[in-house]
Amino acid sequence: SAVISQKPSRDICQRGTSLTIQCQVDSQVTMMFWYRQQPGQSLTLIATANQGSEATYESGFVIDKFPISRPNLTFSTLTVSNMSPEDSSIYLCSVAQELNSPLHFGNGTRLTVT
């Protein structure tokens, strides 16, 4: 399966600031997604990163708060904007080689907002 690298692996940020998380895959993939994993909770899909067009956001997530880019088939970024302590979470990049192939995950970015 593809090797997925996320940067940074962790960060501590001040409220009101923004953080951009990068996801790099070692091979071209059709589908890329961003998930959030809050402490003691299940994974929640934030959005599907679409190459060359606007991301598709799930209910409860908006582009102004979580802008996403996907310039090509191997790279995507997620920005967490105007952060508050409630944004403290693990953010995970996931990929699928093609439609209806299983998801694979990166190791996540552990974000703490103070």
Under the rule (CB under 8 A), what is the footprint of other proteins?
Answer: 1, 4, 31, 33, 40-45, 92, 96, 99-108, 110
State the Cα–Cα distance between residues 15 and 1, nearest whole angstrom: 37
Least separation in angstroms between CB 16 and other proteins: 27
**Which of 12/15 has CB closer to other proteins?**
12
Q: Which is nearer to other proteins, 14 or 100 (CB)?
A: 100
Question: What number of other Cβ atoms are within 10 A of residue 103's Cβ?
Answer: 15
Our CB check for other proteins shows the closer of 73 and 96 to be 96
Question: What are the angstrom distances between the C-alpha of 57 and each of 1, 10, 26, 82, 107?
Answer: 26, 24, 25, 18, 22
